Structure 1
Amino acid sequence: MKHNVCMVSDFFYPNQGGVESHIYHLSQCLINRGHKVIVVTHYYGSRRGVRYLKNGLKVYYLPFPTMYNQCILPTILTTLPLLRNIFIREQISIVHGHSAFSTMAHEAMFHARNMGLKTVFTDHSLFGFADASSILTNKLLKFSLADCHHAICVSHTSKENTVLRAAIPPETVSVIPNAVDASMFVPDPSKRHPEKITIVVVSRLVYRKGMDLLAGIIPEICFRHSDVQFIIGGDGPKRIVLEEVREKHQLQDRVTFLGALEHSQVRDVLVQGDILINTSLTEAFCIAIVEAACCGLQVVSTRVGGVPEVLPPEMIKLAEPSVSDLLDKLEEAILNHRHGNILPPFEANRKIADMYTWPNVARRTEQVYDMVCTLPHRELQRRIRRYYQCGPLAGKLFVIAVILDLLFLAFVSFLHPAQEIELTPSLSGPTATIYREPVNGTETRTRLKT
């Protein structure tokens, strides 16, 4: 089966991160397999309107301003007219949302379900259950996945977390890991400093990535080992904390900040290092450690979330999320480097190339699409019941939201009927035409036929 897929997320290029990379590479591989794929996100600076990326990947940068952390303001209804127009113009059959943080992904899937389209959601993160932020986010996820056809998680730990948070059946969730293009992360030992041990950090400099732990590690390691230096790639609100540590301990010549990196620059930074340290407090998968191992670096990481599932023991040292345990594991990695007890870089690259490939991820995602398209249509009464069961108060609010969205959809459809929307010619994937299907002998219903 060939599909017309719309990837939706607040996070996409030129913003940098694991979600952005995942959407781009998955889209490219699906296009190579004959599917039509478009991406919908909000505008980034001067990047607005429609852009085309490699392989004819079409990206809609919609005129929605961001509110917090690159996410748009949640409004539920105001995004409907523009998203409906795109879904019809591009003849979309499956809407694939990414990231529990993404407001646009949740709203797009919500509108798609009311339009009768299939929906798939990929969760890239882990959340707790105790703090106020997690409670609110989990309730939003429960609402979003109540009527979603299928969910994908990037690790088994992430699947367990999503099933508990969203209260959905485990059989409706698949595990498909992230991947890496090993040809883009080829080791280059000649770039390493011949007389120093370089520890690399490539991460967003935020609390969730454990930057407070890193602030405690840097001065202690530099005090113990005079031949160790740090290269830190990335930016964020915690950068000032790390800069204060560097100033306080006078480590300006041993700690280098590179700022925000383009994804194309990550490999050039990684090959300069001997060890990568990941201090995350929560991770569903962590593509950064896979890219580092692919470049031949030893990896030291916190034992959180799905990280223990990602790399074999000979490639990674796992530590508890504490300064003392991370220091111990980092000491072991430094000693292993000095004694040559490490996996040869090109052998590590070959192992990663066999373990994680985007064509494999695309093939498995394609199977999810095929399965979703065979599911029967859900009646409105059954959908309303699913939302109503989300909680004694929240359930009623969710039902009201569904009814309002359906009424607004009917109003927008009356003002701008589907048959008046010009279809976009497909550059790739299946072709589709709109036809009018008789209903009860008198009415007509607009449908997509592939």
Structure 2
Amino acid sequence: MARRRTYTVAMVSDYFFPQPGGVESHIYQLSSKLIDRGHKVIIITHAYDDRKGVRYLTNGVKVYHVPFFVIYRQTTFPTVFSFFPVFRNICIRERIEIVHGHGSLSSLCHEAILHARTMGLRTVFTDHSLFGFADAASILTNKLLKFILSDVDHSICVSHTCKENTVLRASLDPLMVSVIPNAIVAESFRPRNYRSSPRAGANGFQPDPPARPLAPHEMITIVVISRLFYNKGTDLLTAAIPRILEEHPNTRFLIAGSGPNAIDLEQMIETNVLQDRVQMLGPIRHEEVRDVMTRGHIYLHPSLTEAFGTVIVEAASCGLYVVCTQVGGIPEVLPSHMTTFAKPEEDDVVAATGKAITAMRAGQVRTEKFHDQVKKMYSWSNVALRTERVYDGITGTISEEDFYGFDIGGYNGSRIRDFTLIDRLKRYYGCGIWAGKLFCLCVAIDYLFFLFLEWWFPRENIDVCPDWPRKPSADEGSSSVDGDAKRASSRA
């Protein structure tokens, strides 16, 4: 049996720990599982406060914190070329073969992919977001995405809806985009009624008997954990909470998160005198999410746009019944018996939440089985295995027929991108009448800058970093890294 090939991969994004979030957790968990499979993975992101230079996280995940200026929502100021010397130095020091960028709005991600192609490295892009097509911000973002993805080797989206959106925004060949969903560490999101028991199974936990239906006088807690921004439906939440509490007296809200719209929630609480029924916890760390969720019965997710929605999987794993808006890729995430869907409208959110409260009181929803079901559906090991297959496909380790599932000989030829400058310029030139010429100019300058760096600071003068010592086994079945993931944001 042929030995499986391993790769040296650089994950690049503006979004990483200690900032909490779905993209941040995705990058860390995927990197950890790829390391467990024998690959070498480093992470490149910008500096966070005093977190600069090189840091090591659990499982030997090496993080480069580049001191770049942050302008908005932890995104660095786009400079196009100033990142190249630092990026080239890191890639040579770490002997990088594949650059894997994350996030449509991440400047570091886009610049890294551009420079990686100039250096002759394979590239992969993962999109975690949905964008529109009409407003000015979306038009500019889509044009930038088209520029970067014109020459990327392969793209990954976290849901089928996200794939459709990305294909349209960047005018991509659908064959060049794979769907690999997010996942969670199920052991870190156990329900409240899971307790350690010597008689338990292999996971060390044993569920208690099913909970009884809630009586009419018992308090139901609705949990909301989200960044308090407009696109997360904070305005919708602000309008719906007073109505929900008025219609259902023995109900309260627990809200965790921060953002510019937090002031609207605070004003709503003051205006309606709801201090005893709505508790705002402010920002919480990733390791505190499970503790907050297990204090509730229902999780409300009123987002206006969402590519996947990892937090609703975490909520279901904690044994909460989920009420969420039917937008983006959310309908793909959980089966219907775990969720109640609502239109992104105030009246429908109120009605759906009321329906969920009634179902919980009547004992119609058996949430005690949610955790085991979610554990079987989502696994980071599976995500790493599928991502590794993408790496195999773009490097030619497996044939294109094996990668795409059929013979593509008569389907516009090979899908493996050529590194020659003339072929790259041809791909960029087709991005638009004026934009194409601008993109070609940018790529040409980037190539000349690369030649200058090769002359000014030869790669022979750059020291190669020793690899983190690993066990001989390339496939470590279940690693303790999952249990340690919740501490990654605080471990330096």
TM-score, L = length of structure 1: 0.93
Q: Distance in 2 between matches of 1:379 and 1:58?
A: 31
Alignment match of 1:398 (pick from 436, 439, 443): 439
What whole-Å deviation, never above 9, does each CA across 1:189-240 have from its counterpart, x for those lacking one?
A: 4999993100000110000101000001111111112211101111000100
Q: Distance in 2 between matches of 1:261 and 1:38?
A: 26
- Report the RMSD for the aligned CA atoms in angstroms: 1.7
Q: Which residue of 2 aligns with 1:419?
A: 460
Count the aligned residue pairs: 430
Q: Which residue of 2 aligns with 1:371?
A: 393
Q: Does 1:410 align with 2:451?
A: yes
Structure 1 residues 428 and 36 mapped into 2: Cα distance closer, same or farther (>3 Å)? farther
1:430 deviates by: 12
Structure 1 residues 92 and 303 mapped into 2: Cα distance closer, same or farther (>3 Å)? same
Q: Do the aligned residues in 2 keep the contact of 1:203 with 1:233 (CA within 8 Å)?
A: yes
Q: Which residue of 2 aligns with 1:56?
A: 60
Q: Distance in 1 between matches of 2:326 and 2:418?
A: 42
Q: Does 1:11 align with 2:52?
A: no
Matches within 5 A, 1:140-179: 140-179=144-183
Q: Which residue of 1 aligns with 2:315?
A: 292
Q: Which residue of 2 aligns with 1:356?
A: 378
- The alignment-based identity, stated in percent, is 53
Letter in 1 for 2:246: F
Alignment match of 1:222 (pick from 221, 226, 245): 245
Alignment match of 2:83 (pick from 79, 86, 94): 79
Q: Do the aligned residues in 2 keep the contact of 1:4 with 1:429 (CA within 8 Å)?
A: no
Q: Distance in 1 between matches of 2:40 and 2:418?
A: 23
Letter in 2 for 1:43: A
What whole-Å deviation, never above 9, does each CA across 1:246-274 have from its counterpart, x for those lacking one?
A: 00000011111111111101000000010
Alignment match of 2:31 (pick from 23, 27, 36): 27
Letter in 1 for 2:255: I
Partner secondary structure for residue 59 of structure 1:
strand
Q: Does 1:203 align with 2:203?
A: no
Which deviates the most, 154-163 or 407-416? 407-416
Partner secondary structure for residue 152 of structure 1:
strand
Partner secondary structure for residue 171 of structure 1:
helix
1:101 deviates by: 1.1
Q: Does 1:47 align with 2:89?
A: no
Q: Do the aligned residues in 1 keep the contact of 2:418 with 2:424 (CA within 8 Å)?
A: no
Letter in 1 for 2:247: R
Letter in 2 for 1:82: V
Q: Does 1:126 align with 2:145?
A: no
Letter in 1 for 2:102: H
In the alignment, structure 1 segments of 5+ residues that lack a partner are: 432-450
Structure 1 residues 428 and 304 mapped into 2: Cα distance closer, same or farther (>3 Å)? farther
Partner secondary structure for residue 27 of structure 2:
helix
Matches within 5 A, 1:283-322: 283-322=306-345
Q: Distance in 1 between matches of 2:352 and 2:45?
A: 40
Structure 1 residues 384 and 410 mapped into 2: Cα distance closer, same or farther (>3 Å)? same
What whole-Å deviation, never above 9, does each CA across 1:327-386 have from its counterpart, x for those lacking one?
A: 1110110001111111232x1001000000000000000000111111363321111011
In the alignment, structure 2 segments of 5+ residues that lack a partner are: 196-210, 397-415, 473-492
Structure 1 residues 310 and 14 mapped into 2: Cα distance closer, same or farther (>3 Å)? same
Q: Distance in 2 between matches of 1:376 and 1:161?
A: 23
Q: Distance in 2 between matches of 1:400 and 1:377?
A: 19
Q: Distance in 1 between matches of 2:378 and 2:113?
A: 28
Partner secondary structure for residue 10 of structure 2:
strand
Q: Do the aligned residues in 2 keep the contact of 1:3 with 1:430 (CA within 8 Å)?
A: no
Q: Does 1:386 align with 2:390?
A: no
Partner secondary structure for residue 341 of structure 1:
coil
Partner secondary structure for residue 49 of structure 2:
coil
What whole-Å deviation, never above 9, does each CA across 1:387-426 have from its counterpart, x for those lacking one?
A: 1100111111101100111111111111100111000011
